[in-house]
Structure 1
Amino acid sequence: MTLPTANLGRTGLEASRLGYGAMELRGPQAWGKPVTDEQARTVLNSVLDSGVNVIDTSPDYGDAEKHIGRWISHRREEFILSSKCGCPLAAGGDPRTVPPHVYTRANVRACVEQSLRRMRTDYLDILMVHMSPSVAVMQAEDTIAEMLALQDEGKIRFMGMSGELPHLPEHIALGAFDVFLLPYSALDRSHEKLISAAVAAGAGTIARGSVARPLTAPPEVLPEPVRRPLADRHARLTAAGLNDLLDGASTMELLLRFILSHPDLHSVIVGSTQVAHVQANVTAAKKGPLPADVYNALLDRLTAA
């Protein structure tokens, strides 16, 4: 059985319903675990070999873009490559020292040109605006005008937004973005209706975040603003008591298939440095949406928790 795909809105791109989030390749400079060249090479090629064709990254994901360029740029025609703009470049992706994101025309272009160099490619399939700035901020900085210029030059194919509340509704209404990357999971359904709103506007939709992280308690070394919501989700998942819903599957599979049950979601990105995890996610994605009774029971338990 091949990995299911979906048409990514008006882009016409045929996206695998499971994508790969390259943030896990960021390394210790960006609050990640050490990643060897061999690990990166093996997992990235395994991702493509498995039929996953959506790879999401960002200039501020530490070493991720360099790994993509080094290990799979020779397979560029096999995948949809999405990166981001607005990211501060001076600190090299270290979240402990970076200033706020900046959405000026100069920084948008600098982000793209750096990404192209790092990933050894001539174009990005999707350029996402990172960190969900307001429309007013983007208008003041001419962010979209620069993205259109880059599109005219062939350096990007489509424009996207890595967005969330409170600004996501105005991003959708603007009509400028072809793809939306937004948070969605069984433990965070706050953007559920906005997925459908984006599709109604003709855009593609990709979910991010919170598939694997709630499975274990977050490490104490994480900054408190990051650690607290992860700890809350872990506690809620534990309290829900989902074991009898698994039917031999893992909790990870249950949570992933929940996301894939949204009728208007085209793809979901999940990251890992372990080939076994990638293969398990692919196996789960091939099973498709959850049966209705399991889906409804999962919602009831998580709501009660």
Structure 2
Amino acid sequence: MSSPLNPSGEFRIAGKEVRRLGYGAMRITGPGVWGEPADRAEAVQVLRHAVELGVDLIDTADSYGPFVSEEIIREALHPYTDNLLIATKAGFVRTGPDRWHVLGDPNYLRQQVELSLRRLGLERIELFQLHRIDERFPVADQIGVLRDLRDEGKIAAIGLSEVSVAQIEEAGRTAEIATVQNRYNLLDRASADVLAHCAAQGIGFIPWAPVAAGGLTGPGTALQAVADETGATPSQVSLAWLLAKSPVVLPIPGTSSSVHLEENMAASCVSLTPEQVAALDALA
């Protein structure tokens, strides 16, 4: 059953039913997703408040900080409740603020899984996602090492990030793919075909950067009209639109502010009519 504080519906990952409106833990690091946050105590409080508001899916990555996000999650929430699913990722090496370098060497991926287990204080990572496919290594080798780690009981389910339909199908020949995390929002619909594929196959679709309304807001815009009709903010409408797109969609808005967190989570209470969804669809 959905929490009255997060009535967003559920989706099953690794045998767990999680509420579809989760939390992305990238923003609890420093500028450029690098180093410590300005206020670590506030970051800890935001994570704890997210759980209080009904969040049971928290998404992070070893590259956020690097390592900082995973470490703060453990500080804030360990020992974890049985219903909480911590999802993490590997596949990027960091050399500085806003610097991301793809690395999918299977030996490196295995190492990072082991290190994430230690940092998070877990015996098994429920959802482990390949942050990017590295073209320098066969996809079967990158997914294969995650499949081996799954078989060893160190991860429960495998996900992908920023992939095409063809890449999902290729990866699926080596191991079952539970989720796909691609950029998708009101402004960026480039992954519409990936969402359609995930919906058809029952694969969870985790849109990152889910709130990106930009120039769509303002008097006279369709987004503002729907916001006015529902009494919600444009950001809340953006999240409600994602939740309405498909039951496989699991938005993970991130923030380092408790006030902003509460606004995001309240989006799960915003109900859109088919006409409102169609008006927002037409903004593409």
TM-score after normalising by structure 1: 0.80
- The verdict on how the C-alpha distance between 1:173 and 1:268 changes in structure 2, with shifts beyond 3 A counting, is same
Checking the alignment, whether the CA contact within 8 Å between 1:185 and 1:255 is kept in structure 2 is: yes
Return the letter of the residue paired with 1:34.
Answer: P
Q: Which one of 16, 19, 34 corresponds to residue 13 of structure 1?
A: 16
Q: d(CA) in 1 for partners of 2:279 and 2:202?
A: 32
Q: Which one of 235, 239, 251 corresponds to residue 215 of structure 2?
A: 235
Residue 296, structure 1, aligned to residue 284, structure 2: no
Higher mean Cα deviation, 174-183 or 269-278? 174-183
Give the CA RMSD over aligned residues. Answer: 2.5
Checking the alignment, whether the CA contact within 8 Å between 1:87 and 1:111 is kept in structure 2 is: no
Consecutive unaligned residues of structure 1, counting only runs of 5 or more, are: 215-233
The structural deviation recorded for 1:193 is 3.2
- The verdict on how the C-alpha distance between 1:60 and 1:192 changes in structure 2, with shifts beyond 3 A counting, is same
The structural deviation recorded for 1:96 is 4.8
The SS at the match of 1:126 is: strand
The structural deviation recorded for 1:2 is 4.5
Q: Percent identity?
A: 27
Q: Alignment length, in residue pairs?
A: 272
- The verdict on how the C-alpha distance between 1:160 and 1:207 changes in structure 2, with shifts beyond 3 A counting, is same
Equivalences for 1:136-175 in 2 at 5 Å?
137-139=138-140, 142-164=141-163, 167-172=164-169, 174-175=171-172
Equivalences for 1:171-190 in 2 at 5 Å?
171-172=168-169, 174-175=171-172, 176=175, 177-190=177-190
Name the residue aligned to 1:73.
Answer: 78
Name the residue aligned to 1:126.
Answer: 127
The structural deviation recorded for 1:107 is 0.6
Q: d(CA) in 1 for partners of 2:35 and 2:279?
A: 34
The structural deviation recorded for 1:291 is 1.0
Checking the alignment, whether the CA contact within 8 Å between 2:5 and 2:266 is kept in structure 1 is: no
Equivalences for 1:1-305 in 2 at 5 Å?
1-3=4-6, 4-8=8-12, 11-28=14-31, 30=33, 34-62=37-65, 63-88=68-93, 91=95, 94-96=96-98, 100-133=101-134, 137-139=138-140, 142-164=141-163, 167-172=164-169, 174-175=171-172, 176=175, 177-211=177-211, 213-214=212-213, 234-237=214-217, 241=221, 242-247=223-228, 248-288=231-271, 290-300=272-282, 302-303=283-284
Q: d(CA) in 2 for partners of 1:279 and 1:30?
A: 22
Q: d(CA) in 1 for partners of 2:108 and 2:220?
A: 44
The structural deviation recorded for 1:20 is 0.4
- The verdict on how the C-alpha distance between 1:240 and 1:15 changes in structure 2, with shifts beyond 3 A counting, is farther
Q: d(CA) in 2 for partners of 1:154 and 1:5?
A: 28
- The verdict on how the C-alpha distance between 1:115 and 1:291 changes in structure 2, with shifts beyond 3 A counting, is same
The SS at the match of 1:78 is: coil
The structural deviation recorded for 1:58 is 0.6
1:16-68 deviation digits (Å, cap 9, x = unpaired): 11110000112136258933221111110111111111111011111211101
Q: d(CA) in 1 for partners of 2:198 and 2:191?
A: 11
Consecutive unaligned residues of structure 2, counting only runs of 5 or more, are: none
Checking the alignment, whether the CA contact within 8 Å between 1:19 and 1:267 is kept in structure 2 is: yes
TM-score after normalising by structure 2: 0.85
The structural deviation recorded for 1:259 is 0.7
Return the letter of the residue paired with 1:75.
Answer: Y
- The verdict on how the C-alpha distance between 1:137 and 1:191 changes in structure 2, with shifts beyond 3 A counting, is same
Checking the alignment, whether the CA contact within 8 Å between 1:15 and 1:266 is kept in structure 2 is: no
Q: d(CA) in 2 for partners of 1:79 and 1:118?
A: 16
- The verdict on how the C-alpha distance between 1:111 and 1:95 changes in structure 2, with shifts beyond 3 A counting, is farther
Checking the alignment, whether the CA contact within 8 Å between 1:125 and 1:156 is kept in structure 2 is: yes
Checking the alignment, whether the CA contact within 8 Å between 1:126 and 1:156 is kept in structure 2 is: yes
